Structure 1
């Protein structure tokens, strides 16, 4: 008996220990593992560079400091783009040296233009493509500026740096992938499971009307980040895992289908809210059983996803069965409602059409998930367009801002003949490059300056008191490990990333050990001060000239967001929904980075995005349904002109929203609804064409309700009080 009790206690203790270890590894363990791997990779790169007798092993260490990430896919992706960026930067440095030999002023002018152009391109292309451009910029400065007056040594300096960077890249990738690897593909699988489960619960709460507007807006805003973040994780995982690479297009399609399902869910939520405000209780009572049944189904589906997704196909079948029954049941309910309240048929038809579309999008999302189980699948041959949108003025002003910051340091260096002035230029170049996509560039550059100051103090201490008192490579590794881990620790936290990145990079560059250590603490201090000055000047330029948080920039991005309506109304239909969805979410993601959460500006931008998504998606549906309908214009002359007027008025409204344009848009939509109702009556004998016209009516009616929504961003606070009395378009008895 005692043995059994002890065995049970041991089992409980072992299980608790295992759970505690798993929880620690998922939290603090990831941090400690990252610190250990960063230090290990940096020391390995330093040792190999020393063994090969390269002139500056510190460059290999610095490469590791900026490359290491918690997940191996991030490291491999970053390494690839670093190779590209370093190659371009090396070529640029050599070319500028060849064009302007021993002409420091002209060389500095060409270098300034190159760095600024690369920084502007980094703002245009984000994620790790950004990294290739920033590396191409400041790599040219790191190679060329120290030997600007020694053109004979430029080519050898470029080759040596390329070799040192390559060693750093290889060591980072090897340690990340082989030593206790944390794979992006594993994180991607976890994201897939949790996102499906959470979205099922979110959709069930929306359909069951169990979520308030504030919680809904916050949850939907988080979905924007998930959609953009998933695309980045997919690309990271493709670098490290061949199975993910084989399924890359399906994963892109999966994210697109998820985006569509989110948009349909939002449209349903908005329509339910408007019907509550518009006193359409009979319609709500009529559709409630379908919403409740779907809500219960989604709650059951949230638990059907096993790690391998084997039950995704069965979940898709359940959704398909619900969708196939929906038209028949809706037809019966419609006949009852036609007798009791025929004036509400258009509201009922619109609601059921949106419900049908949401189920269809959710089923397609589930089927895309299920396709991941197959090694080869037809979806892998599809191409999903993911558009990235950046305002041209923002890119242009980023270029000008970098020209001013780097050019000012270059002019100071040449005018004063400051021995460490080249490092001031390098500091400005690094600050411009690494802060280019930060939400607050001035603050980030100031953080980097503080990080460099700390690195200078640490470098002075190591040069004066550590290096002279140690002997041998093992002891060198032992004393460098804490300082390397400290920089990596700061870099992992968003609030201190600027300090940590600059500390790790500049400690290696200023005071990292070389094959022949030269004890020159004065040089370390002078060069460190120069880098700090360059970064502080850049911070001042960012704060005074074209600041990131300036209202002009935010309004420009908002205007670009509203201009997405022009893309919807005038763009080519092929792939339009994907381009519209991805570019709209990308613009909102940029605004989310610039605006404080829960601020009035953030809520206003979110309302514009939501209004754009619901109306834009309906316009795309409307254009698809009305495509190739020559009989409509013959039966009802003016039909195509009415639709053109609707699209034109919507573009004008989103471009310059005011009450007059809103009135024109509502009037044109109502005119199109009346023509569509007449056409539906004319096409009564043709079931397929009548149903098609019914869907068109539903889209037009939904656009009208969106334009008349009291919470829409088209209205000022005073105007919202007068909208509930707007006349309704009544549906004739069918």
Structure 2
């Protein structure tokens, strides 16, 4: 008994070490080796700033090969563009510091804006284009400007060497592929859906959330994009990942919409009892498969049972619905709830079907390729927020460049090289001031470590490349540890920033005064960057609320006006990207976050209903009923801020027209089916808009 217990404990501990600690050890070994290799190559070719290559390695190194290749690709492009721009600016304004500063600041602001609007590592590429100018020009602009071309080519070469070393080491030493991780995520998502839906508490407890959009949808899409740089995953698998993530997004939206509608009538005992008894049928179905392995045979059986469960639920709700008499609101809420429940089951069946094909690696590449054209994730663009980012970046750049020109200090360039990259990199960080504090902590640690290396270890013990490797390995491993620890990477960046600038040179030439001057200049640059985020912090919860309302209302208006090419994926992805962009501002409490999330879900559901109505309206064999256009016009007017004082009357008018629409009858069976579908979507819209708490509109409540 004791031996069995000991074996279980040992097995659990070993698995935990294998899954959590070993990947970190692998990352540290790869980062350290790649850094030493890139440093040696740069020194062999006598490049003037080999620390650039080491810094590049730490920037792009990731636990998985895909992100390393992806980040390396965009860093290479960003560095090349930034280097070319530096040559242009120096060539045009080398003797005119004012003009150079103005165009430098404008370029930084432009790169900051494009970087903020971009997704994944593409954003990093644009940010890098912005601050590469400072890294290329500032060290030599005062006394060696004639060497700008050679110097810039050296910087580009050092970056390329760092990227190649990181990519090669990541690929040949303990290679970790995203393909396996993505496969596990897809299995985990199917488990998440089944475990979420099998527990009725998740759907009937309004404040309980089981699905995280940023992590489960947007995060998964980012991993998929990075996996495109891996050759181990074929094109079919990549398309299936894209499709599964899109279908997961659809199910999640329906799930939260269902919760919102149920909440409208949570005090009605008949409604709740009927819906709960119907939902119990789904629970019973899913409980049979929650613990079973997710293999094709079990999933096929689940799909069959889901279809049968859907039929049973439809029969039950039709029977219960007959007991609702002369209660317009309850009838429409009941219609909406049952429709969303049935739709959720259908979407879960579709997800399972796609997942089976994914497991079997079905080669329907043409069909998937055509389908994937409609699955492109879209981003939300807020011009006001972008303007703030541009203004902050330009202002900070101008201030630090003025300081550089007025101070006349040979170390002022280090302040510029610290301020500009930090400001650009922190534009999309949730807590930029806190990030600057992390940098400063790293620099304080680096002051101690660097002093020991500069004035004791290097002059006394480093005599050749081998000894250099021996003594640098511990500090590189130490930095790698900070880079891999959750929440500590910024401290690691701070250590890198100072250690690389003051310790690693081809020819050792360091004294205490120059070391302190460089350190103080770097610290000053970080402080100025942090101050810029405090000075340009115009964001408040009320401002965010106003911006989100405006964005969602604009989205609703577009749905009514834009061509029917507007896809559901575009509607959903823009809305979720909106949540992500404003969530990084960290100005909202949990209550506000939940309110804005409900607004987004309501907007998406209304948008989908309008899209379905507009599509179905084009399919009538005879002339479509004029009431459709009239009701759509009333709904659009309801979300128009010009009519703030008339919401109750507008809602009443919508209700009356939907009642009239219910009694329309057309001779064609096809047209009658279309009428029924359109009426059902009007029911969903009405059920949502009658609860003002879930709507991003102004006016009386």
Single out whichever of 425-434 and 555-564 deviates more from structure 2: 555-564
CA shift, 1:15, in A, is: 6.6
C-alpha distance 226-415 of structure 1, shift in aligned 2 (>3 A): same
Relative distance call for 1:120 and 1:550 in structure 2 (3 A) is farther
Kindly indicate whether residue 379 of structure 2 is the aligned counterpart of residue 388 of structure 1: yes
Identify unmatched segments of 5+ residues in structure 1.
Answer: 720-734
Correspondence for 1:374 among 332, 355, 361: 361
TM-score normalised by length of structure 2 = 0.91
Q: Verify the 8 A CA contact 2:548 2:596 in the aligned structure 1.
A: no
Maintained 8 Å contact 2:336/2:687: no
1:608-649 deviations in Å (ceiling 9; x for gaps): 22322333332233323333337354xx5x414413323422
Does the aligned pair in 1 maintain the 2:248–2:351 contact within 8 Å? yes
When normalised by structure 1's length, the TM-score is 0.87
Residue 338 (str. 1) matches residue 332 (str. 2): no
Q: Does the CA contact (< 8 Å) of 1:676 and 1:697 recur in 2?
A: yes
Match of 1:254 in 2: 244
> How much does 1:409 deviate?
0.9
For residues 5-53 of structure 1, give each alpha carbon's deviation from its aligned partner in whole angstroms, at most 9, with x where no partner exists.
Answer: 9xx95x9866754442221122233333322221121111112222333
Taking the aligned partners of 2:89 and 2:670, their CA distance within structure 1 comes to 68
Q: Map of 1:64-463 to 2, 5 A cutoff?
A: 64-149=57-142, 150-206=144-200, 211-216=204-209, 219-220=210-211, 222-243=212-233, 245-279=235-269, 281=270, 288-304=276-292, 306=294, 311-323=298-310, 325=311, 330=314, 334=318, 337-338=321-322, 341=325, 346-372=332-358, 373-374=360-361, 376-377=363-364, 378-382=367-371, 383=373, 384-463=375-454
Q: Deviations over 1:466-494 (max 9, x none)?
A: 11011233332232223223333333345
- Residue 136 of structure 1, CA deviation: 0.9
Name the CA distance, whole Å, in 1 between partners of 2:299 and 2:562. Answer: 34
* Aligned-partner Cα distance in 2 for 1:664–1:342: 21
How far, CA to CA, are the matches of 1:355 and 1:676 in structure 2?
24
Moved more, 541-550 or 394-403: 541-550
1:611 to 602, 606, 620: 602
- 3-state SS, counterpart of residue 639 of structure 2: helix
Question: In 2, distance between residues paired with 1:350 and 1:472?
Answer: 76
| CA distance, structure 2, for counterparts of residue 552 and residue 346 of structure 1 | 35
Indicate conservation of the 8 Å contact 1:405/1:541, yes or no.
yes
Residues 641 and 551 of structure 1: is their aligned pair in 2 closer, same or farther, counting only changes over 3 Å? closer
Q: Specify every segment of 5 or more residues in structure 2 that has no aligned partner in the other structure, as ranges.
A: none
Q: Give the superposition deviation at 1:547.
A: 4.8
Aligned 8 A contact 1:118 1:133 in 2: yes
Which string of whole-angstrom CA distances, capped at 9 and with x for unpartnered residues, describes residues 350-403 of structure 1? Answer: 333222222222222222222323252222332112101121111122111111
Kept in 1, the 8 Å contact 2:105–2:397? The answer is yes
Give the aligned CA root-mean-square deviation in angstroms.
3.0
Work out whether residues 332 and 684 of structure 2, in 8 Å CA contact, stay in contact via their aligned partners in 1: no
Q: Give the Cα–Cα distance (whole angstroms) in 2 for the partners of residues 242 and 661 of structure 1.
A: 59
Report deviation, 1:669.
2.5
CA distance in structure 2 between the partners assigned to 1:644 and 1:630 by the alignment: 20
- Does the 8 A contact of 2:658 with 2:682 survive in 1? yes
Cα 1:690–1:630 change in 2 (3 A) is closer
Could you say if the C-alpha distance between residues 311 and 173 of structure 1 is closer, same or farther in structure 2, counting changes exceeding 3 Å? farther
Is the Cα–Cα contact under 8 Å of residues 455 and 503 in structure 1 kept in the other structure? Answer: yes
Match of 1:46 among 39, 42, 57: 39
SS of alignment partner, residue 94 of structure 2: coil
Equivalent position SS for 1:276: coil
Partners of 2:513 and 2:643 in 1: CA distance: 62
Distance 1:646 1:138, change over 3 A: same
The answer to whether structure 1 residue 63 and structure 2 residue 52 are counterparts is no
Q: Confirm or deny that 1:671 pairs with 2:656.
A: yes
Alignment pair present for 1:475 and 2:467: yes
CA contact (8 A) 1:311 1:370 kept: no
Cα distance change of structure 1 residues 312 and 144 upon mapping to structure 2, 3 Å threshold: farther
Q: Choose 151-160 or 493-502, whichever is displaced more.
A: 493-502
2:613·2:681 contact (CA, 8 Å) conserved in 1?
yes
Q: 1:497 and 1:203 mapped to 2: Cα distance?
A: 37
* Map of 1:731 onto structure 2: none
2:593 to 602, 606, 616: 602
Residue 641 of structure 2 corresponds to residue 649 of structure 1: no
Instruction: Using the TM superposition, name which of 134-143 and 585-594 deviates more.
Output: 585-594
Measure, in 2, the Cα distance between the counterparts of 1:275 and 1:528: 63
Contact 1:268 1:354 in 2 (8 A): yes
Q: Provide the C-alpha distance between the structure 2 equivalents of 1:686 and 1:646, rounded to a whole number of angstroms.
A: 27
CA–CA distance in structure 2, aligned partners of residues 190 and 632 of structure 1: 51
* Distance in structure 2 (CA, Å) of the matches to 1:714 and 1:156: 56
Counterpart contact for 2:647–2:700, Cα < 8 Å: no
Structure 1 contact 441–548 (Cα < 8 Å) conserved: no
CA distance 1:250–1:657, change in 2 (3 Å): farther
Q: State the partner residue of 2:522.
A: 531
SS in 2 for 1:27: helix
Deviations 1:634-684 (A, max 9, x none): xx5x414413323422431xx5895x35325423431331232121xx23x
C-alpha distance 612-132 of structure 1, shift in aligned 2 (>3 A)? same
Maintained 8 Å contact 2:112/2:393 = yes
In 2, Cα distance between the equivalents of 1:305 and 1:430? 48
* Counterparts in 2 of 1:624 and 1:467: CA distance versus 1, 3 Å: same
1:702 and 2:684 correspond: yes
Shift of 1:569: 2.5
Partner of 2:478: 486
Paired with 1:483 and 1:245, the residues of 2 have a C-alpha distance of 41
The answer on 1:30 being equivalent to 2:23 is: yes
Are the equivalent residues in 2 in contact too, given 1:642–1:671 (CA < 8 A)? no
How far the C-alpha of 1:536 sits from its partner, in A, is 0.6
Q: Equivalents in 2 of 1:298, 1:632: separation in Å? A: 44
SS of the residue 1:518 aligns to: coil
Question: Is the CA contact 2:38–2:161 (under 8 Å) kept in the aligned structure 1?
Answer: yes
Distance in 2, matches of 1:339 and 1:402, equals 64
Residue by residue, what CA displacement relative to the aligned partner does 1:231-279 show, whole Å, maximum 9, x if unpaired?
1011122212442544223222211111111111222223333333345
Name the CA distance, whole Å, in 2 between partners of 1:152 and 1:508.
Answer: 25
CA–CA distance in structure 1, aligned partners of residues 570 and 52 of structure 2: 41
In 2, the alpha carbon distance for the partners of 1:50 and 1:265 equals: 58
**CA contact 1:35–1:489 (8 Å) conserved in 2:** yes
| 1:456 Cα deviation from its structure 2 partner | 4.1
Q: Report the counterpart of residue 675 of structure 2 in structure 1.
A: 693
Q: Deviations over 1:57-83 (max 9, x none)?
A: 211111112111222221111111111
Q: Measured at CA, do residues 554 and 440 of structure 1 come closer, stay the same or move farther in structure 2, by a change above 3 Å? A: farther
